[in-house]
Amino acid sequence: MKTTDIERFRLQLLKLCQRTRPEIERMRETVLHGEHAIGEHDQGVSESLAKEAYLENNEEEIHRAAFTALHRLEAGTFGICQSCGCEIPRARLVAIPFTPYCVSCEAEREL
């Protein structure tokens, strides 16, 4: 991988790490705050809470993935599929810089 690419991905991943942190804090607050409303309100409240919790998990997942991807970048294994060891196509990394898998391994895991 070219040095310019590595720098580009490093910046992208750092931004993702920083962006997802405050998002998680904000959602956690919403979820905690919302807890007081349970019991008083109808199902709509718990539904939106479930949605928030789902979003939080998702953001946390992205944060974790971006974090470990940064580690792989430092270790020099960034862009290598963590499952089969092949090189992840650059276009895929541009779209999802934190992905640890190539397209076919990702598809297999989702089955």
Q: Considering beta carbons, is residue 37 or 84 the nearer one to Zn ion?
A: 84
Q: How far is the CB of 36 from Zn ion (least distance, A)?
A: 46
Q: How far is the CB of 53 from Zn ion (least distance, A)?
A: 31
Number of residues that bind Zn ion (CB under 5 A): 5
Q: How far is the CB of 30 from Zn ion (least distance, A)?
A: 37
Q: What sign results for the dihedral spanned by CA atoms 48, 52, 57, 58?
A: positive
- Given 16, 65, 70, 102, the residue binding Zn ion (CB under 5 A): 102
Q: How far is the CB of 2 from Zn ion (least distance, A)?
A: 22
Q: Find the binding residues for Zn ion in span 61-100 (CB under 5 A).
A: 81, 83-84
Q: How far is CA 83 from CA 15, 63, 79, 99, in A?
A: 26, 20, 12, 11
Helix (H, G, I), strand (E, B) or coil at 87: strand
Q: Find the binding residues for Zn ion in span 26-55 (CB under 5 A).
A: none
Spatial distance between the Cα atoms of 78 and 63, rounded to a whole number of angstroms: 16
Beta strands in 1-111 (DSSP E): none
The residue whose two tokens read 């397209």 is 103
Q: Interface residues with Zn ion (CB under 5 A)? A: 81, 83-84, 102, 105
